[in-house]
Structures are given as structure tokens and as C-alpha cells.
Amino acid sequence: MNAAKIIHAGAVKVTMEEPVVVDQAPSKPVEPSPYAITEQAAVWGRYRMPKIYRMPGGSILLNFSMSIDHFYDHGRTAPVFESKDGGLTWEKTKWPHPAITGQHPVISPIGGGDFYCIAQRAGIRVDGYEMPVQVGTYMDSMGFKIYRLSECPDGLINWFRDIDAVRWSPGAGWTVEKAEWDHEGQLIFTYNDKPQNIPGDWSQKVFTEHPVVCGDNELYIADYWTIYENGGKVPPNWECSLMASRDNARSWKRRSVVMSLPIATAEPVIEMNHAGELVCVVRTEQKEPVLPRSMYMAISKDKGYTWDEPRTVLGYGVLPRLLQLENGVMALSYGRAPGTWISFSVDGGHSWTEPYVVIDEEGKASSCGYTSMLAIGPEAFMIAYGDIHVKNADGEECKTILVRKVTVNPA
């Protein structure tokens, strides 16, 4: 397996400002759960997965998850904070529309001045349905069972096909519409989370986990919540698909499999570089010796119809995020490596600098590692992240959601 080229960090000049606290958890969990979950599940579930993005009026919103890490709780509406001064200060606010639900929605600017979001809903418990014959198993350690959607009971088929999208349009404001998603050859996955003491077999459907990418009269999403048969065959592992829309996000068609590996790929992100190429980075969980434990990347030069051979990039990381700046620098953030890091590319994602540290957790317990980035100028962006080692006024370490301004230029 080839590796992406790593270049010296001196290829860019980076200034990282001091972090700004958005919100901080109490020192001890206070909220009960409807299930008798483990203590670790309660600790892990709150104050994580921050997402940052710009709103139609120009202000910046940031939200984060307060959900238990399980499909049943994905529909919990996230707390949301607003900044009207470029991220220097934050105030808790209300969502602009009640349909923007879920643990960590992302709102994206798309064509015609519109803004768009497929919000996350609570998952569905499937063990009350008469399920068809199982056609596969993914991630044996977690026991994901695979079924053909077309063979499932009508109630399940209708649930997976019923996808709400929220759109803001100039003059019309916020409205809810049905997203037409590609369900041809769709498979569904279910799992039973015995380690968290949550009963039942559960599944989940698509939502926008990262910003929509705008191309020439097309929009793109990298999706791993919807899995598909390939040529009538069930793929041996979880795969990520490139979804494209030619009608400004009203309908989405599957264009390609981004990469096929003998290990599961998840949490994909895509970005378009200045050459018009699509760059995709994914998380994997498989450890050696099957393949190196690493993030993997691939690049498409033809709008996602085909992809080059996947390469390892920068070692292990969760929820990689990409951001192309106007000055030509592309940023890649990731976490739990241990700690949270940012690397930069000056050639559209083909090579990457040695990573810069956001938080170094070597020898410490790990923060969630999920990040989000938002450009705030040609050479600057905000990164949102979580840090469990920030102390409160009493000197106790608490989960904390922070943002930092980063300025970067080619050296």
C-alpha cells in the first residue's frame, strides 16, 4: 500500500491563536438516560463532535453532540451557539427551524444562494420487524448484520426512503422538503450494542455529516450511512460512496465507490482543490497486519466517476476534515492520534506537511478527536474541537468545546 508523501512542515507558515471556550460541561454527568447504560457510555456521549459553519445572515453557528453514542439517541437536538464577531465570543441561541435536529447537524451553502441540511434523526429499532435472510456481516467485533433493503418489510423500506432535508432560500426562508436519495441496490446494517446495555437491534439512515461540496453545476457528498451492492454482490466491508446532485440538492445519485479496501472505511470527507479534483479522506479501524492502521485518501480527476489508488495518510485519525482555502492551502484536521492535529497541503492534497499540534494527549486519556473547520478569509479558518483536559474554575478537568483561529500561507 502506497503512502501519501509527507513534506516538511516548513512548507507553510502557520499562526495558531489561543483557544476560545464555547461551552464547558459540568465536572460530573448529571443527565439520566432511559437505559441502564455503562458509566463509560455516559461519560463518552456528552460534549463531543463540534460542528462549525456560517449561516445565511453571515453569523457563525457551532453545535455539538449531547447524545449517547448509539442510534437510538441520534435524534436528540444539539445545543447551538452563535458568534457574530468572527468566533471571538459565543452565545447560546435557538435553532432557526425545528426540523434541524440530531446530535451534530451541518448546514451548507449550495447553489443559488441556498443553504441546505439533511438533519440526523433517531435510528430505528428493527428487531420488532420480520427481517429477511441476512446477506452479510461487517465489523465482526461489533456484529453488524447486513440485509437487502428491497427484501425488508414495507415499514422499514418506507422509513429509509423518507429523508427530510431543510433548505433556506432567499425570499422563502427555511422550508422542509423530501430528499430524493438513490436506493438502488441499497443494503441496511443493524447492530446490537450489548457493551452499552442498550437492548434491541438498531439501524440508521443518511444525514449530512460534513459540508456539501459545490462543483460546476453539481453538488457532492461522501456517504457511508448508505451502503450498496456492487454488481449484485454484497461488498466484503463497509464502503464509502460519492453522491452527486445536478438539481441543487433535490435529488442525489450514487456515482461511484470511493475506494475498496479489505478493511472497513467510514467517516469520509471530500473537498475540491483548485485544480477541480475531488479529494477524499476516510477513517479506518482495522489494525495491522491486514493493512496499516491509518487514514486513507484517494483523488478523482473526473468529478468522482473514478478514483486513483487509495494511499495511507498521516497514520490513525478519526473523522478527518478537509478545507480548501482561497490562497491555495488545503487543511486536514483529525484527532485521537493521540491528540488533535492539523496538516496542510500546498498541491491540492497530493502531499501533506508533518502535522501541527492542536492538543497533544500523549500519555493522557483521549478527547473525542472530532473536529470541524470553517474558512473565515483567504488564508484563515476556525477549527472547532473538544478537549477533556481543560480545567474549570475549581481546577477540575471537564469536557470543553473550543475554537481556535488558524492563519496559514505557503512559505
pLDDT digits (tens, 9 = 90+) for 123-157: 999 999 999 999 998 876 667 999 999 999 999 99
Flag whether pLDDT at 241 surpasses 80.
yes
The fold for domain 5-410 equals Neuraminidase (2.120.10)
C-alpha dihedral (296, 301, 307, 313), degrees to nearest 10: -10
pLDDT digits (tens, 9 = 90+) for 165-204: 999 999 999 999 999 999 999 999 999 887 778 889 999 9
Domain ranges of the chain: 5-410
First-to-final CA distance of the chain: 30
CA 407 to chain CA centroid, nearest Å: 23
User: What confidence tier does 42 reach under pLDDT thresholds 50, 70, 90?
Assistant: low
Question: Computed from CA positions of residues 63, 120, 213, 113, in that sequence, does the dihedral angle turn out positive or negative?
Answer: negative
Question: Computed from CA positions of residues 252, 258, 261, 264, in that sequence, does the dihedral angle turn out positive or negative?
Answer: negative
Flag whether pLDDT at 232 surpasses 90.
no
Looking from the CA of 382 toward its CB, the CA atoms found within 13 Å total 24
What's residue 71's pLDDT?
Answer: 92
Per the DSSP assignment, residues forming a β-bridge with 137 are 145
pTM of the model: 0.95
Select, from the ranges 125-139, 245-259, 283-297, the one with the highest average predicted confidence (pLDDT): 245-259
User: What confidence tier does 292 reach under pLDDT thresholds 50, 70, 90?
Assistant: confident
Q: By percentage, how much of the chain surpasses pLDDT 90? A: 82
What's residue 26's pLDDT?
Answer: 85
Cell matching residue 131? 427481517
Q: What average pLDDT does this structure show over 270-294?
A: 89
User: What confidence tier does 97 reach under pLDDT thresholds 50, 70, 90?
Assistant: very high
Output 251 or 138, whichever has higher pLDDT. 251
Q: In terms of Cα–Cα distance, which of 26, 84, 89 is closest to 57?
A: 84
Flag whether pLDDT at 287 surpasses 90.
no
What's residue 43's pLDDT?
Answer: 66
What's residue 237's pLDDT?
Answer: 87
